[in-house]
């Protein structure tokens, strides 16, 4: 048994209470020191580093508001829509809790997208933080599932038909598709069984997985240390006591610093809740204020805005697009044969592999490949640590034209997101196809373009201007 500490003579009540708890729960205090007061973060964090803590804040908002919503929500196809209306109209402050939850869903994706983009431009996925990035991508994947399952629960028109369209995509999987779709729905159409399944996943299963991944993400981050805008490892330069020369304790410096980001976020978050909770139909679609009707299909079915870039890629994958993929695979195989030094058997393997991929592209229909493209758009981000060959982590020390590449990537995602909301047309489909090719080209060709250009010298220490 460890020796008990004694409070110093003349200690205040707070100090005595702290010592009392520390004697009886030393593990908590050790973890507090490891992850807050003695966790040294780079001293040159900028505003991009607000979004990690904001994502944690929104997660707490979603959990707390979700608990209050579950108290009054009824996962029954005959009662679900009415229970949401009851929350909105009769439960004291129910409208506020519901709008906090619905706005929080969009806010979650906004801060996560910005958090991921910060990781991309500063190379936060590079060695030794590959596992931190993978945990982050898993969080993003689970978050998408959580949002999808929660989207059906209001049992409005867009909820019902959106779920119908997305679940039917699984039917396009060869051989097992129809049975897989039936398993997900629990019936031959979206019904009460589907609602109960989605409710269980949204309220219990995925939140547990999400919380576990968030903890793993933070633990992995604190084990290897935070990246910074310069991409310099602060652990390389330490003082005599072993503390990083360019690091400062996360608490109290960054816990106080993040209060500013929280204040600005809550200002905009509250403004949306009180003045524009539907956000023009982007956060809450107008069709979702109409009860679900299996006999009346809405004129235009589209997912919520944070899914639309991937939905746009799905719709862009037509038969001509599959032919384009086949040509790209053929060109890629020829390019690999000309560039890669391989033995005769290696070249034969490349040719056979290319022919097999082309044969698969021509064997299955475009709907299936659309599902593959939509899923691949998320999965390819997992491989980012091994696609980036740049000598410099941070965008600060890369060639200027790299900034334009990342700017084009953002524009591409915004355009695809916009097209995913619009009705299908030939022009929009063509633009979405170009955007899809650019999206995958950005990652697939990264091993080449990330090395091209004149790089600036990376400093040994972080650059920091006190303020």
Per DSSP, helices labelled H in 122-205 are 130-152, 157-169, 177-185, 192-200
Rounded alpha-carbon distances, angstroms, from residue 45 to 255, 302, 381, 417: 12, 38, 24, 30
d(CA 317, CA 430) in angstroms, rounded, equals 10
Binding residue positions for heme b: 101, 115, 202, 217
> What pairing do the DSSP bridges indicate for beta strands 247-249 and 40-42?
antiparallel
Rounded alpha-carbon distances, angstroms, from residue 203 to 57, 63, 196, 303 = 18, 9, 11, 21
DSSP secondary structure code for residue 244 in this structure: B
Count of other CB atoms within 10 angstroms of residue 368: 19
Instruction: Give the C-alpha separation, 168 to 453, whole Å.
Output: 46
Write a three-state SS string for 31-87: HHHHHHHCCEEECCCCHHHHHHHHHHHHHHHHHHHHHHHHCCCCCCCCCHHHHHHHH
DSSP helix/strand/coil, 238:
strand
Contact between 58 and 108 (Cβ < 8 Å): yes
- Closest C-alpha among 392, 394, 460, 388 to residue 45: 394
List the binding residues: 101, 115, 202, 217, 222
CB 106 within 8 A of CB 170: no
CB 349 within 8 A of CB 155: no
Distances (CA, A) of 355 to 29, 158, 323, 349, 388: 60, 42, 13, 10, 27
- From the list 194, 192, 200, the residue with the least C-alpha distance to 78 is 192
The candidate with the shortest Cα–Cα distance to 35, out of 223, 296, 277, 173, is: 223
Q: Enumerate residues 6+ apart whose C-beta is below 8 A from 196.
A: 75, 186
CB 455 within 8 A of CB 335: no
Q: Are 408 and 463 in contact (CB under 8 A)?
A: no
Query: Where is the binding site for a ubiquinone, in residues?
Result: 222
Rg (CA), the chain: 25
Do 279 and 272 touch, CB atoms closer than 8 A?
yes
């Amino acid at each position: 048994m460890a020796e008990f500490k004694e409070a110093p003579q003349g200690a205040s009540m707070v100090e005595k209470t702290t010592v009392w708890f520390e004697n009886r729960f030393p593990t908590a205090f050790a973890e507090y020191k490891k992850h807050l007061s003695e966790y040294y973060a780079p001293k040159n964090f900028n505003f991009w580093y607000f979004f990690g803590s904001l994502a944690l804040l929104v997660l707490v908002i979603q959990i707390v508001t979700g608990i209050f919503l579950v108290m009054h929500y009824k996962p029954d196809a005959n009662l679900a829509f009415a229970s949401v209306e009851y929350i909105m109209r009769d439960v004291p402050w129910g409208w506020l809790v519901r709008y906090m939850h619905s706005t929080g869903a969009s806010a979650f994706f906004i801060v996560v997208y910005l958090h991921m983009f910060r990781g991309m431009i500063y190379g936060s996925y590079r060695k030794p933080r590959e596992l931190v990035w993978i945990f982050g991508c898993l969080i993003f994947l689970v978050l998408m599932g959580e949002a999808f399952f929660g989207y059906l629960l209001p049992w409005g028109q867009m909820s019902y038909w959106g779920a119908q369209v997305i679940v039917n995509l699984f039917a396009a999987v060869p051989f097992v598709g129809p049975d897989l779709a039936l398993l997900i729905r629990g019936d031959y159409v979206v019904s009460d069984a589907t609602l109960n399944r989605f409710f269980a996943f949204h309220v219990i299963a995925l939140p547990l997985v999400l919380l576990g991944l968030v903890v793993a993400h933070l633990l992995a981050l604190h084990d290897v240390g935070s990246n910074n805008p310069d991409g310099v490892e602060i652990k390389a330069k330490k003082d005599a006591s072993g503390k990083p020369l360019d690091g400062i304790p996360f608490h109290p410096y960054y816990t106080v610093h993040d209060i500013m980001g929280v204040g600005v976020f809550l200002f905009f978050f509250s403004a949306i809740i009180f003045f524009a909770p539907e956000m023009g139909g982007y956060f809450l679609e107008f069709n979702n204020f109409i009860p679900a009707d299996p006999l009346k299909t809405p004129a235009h079915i589209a997912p919520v805005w944070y899914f639309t870039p991937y939905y746009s890629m799905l719709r862009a994958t037509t038969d001509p697009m599959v032919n384009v993929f086949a040509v790209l695979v053929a060109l890629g195989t020829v390019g690999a044969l000309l560039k890669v030094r391989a033995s005769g058997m290696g070249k034969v393997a490349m040719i056979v592999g290319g022919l097999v991929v082309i044969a698969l592209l021509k064997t299955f229909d475009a709907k299936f490949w659309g599902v593959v493209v939509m899923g691949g758009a998320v999965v390819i981000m997992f491989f980012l640590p091994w696609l980036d060959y740049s000598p410099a982590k941070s965008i600060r020390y890369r060639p200027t034209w790299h900034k334009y590449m990342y700017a084009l990537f953002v524009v591409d995602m915004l355009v695809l997101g916009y097209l995913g909301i619009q009705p299908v047309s030939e022009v929009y489909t063509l633009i979405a196809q170009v955007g899809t090719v650019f999206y995958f080209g950005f990652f697939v060709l990264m091993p080449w373009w990330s090395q091209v250009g004149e790089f600036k010298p990376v400093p040994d220490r972080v650059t920091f201007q006190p303020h």
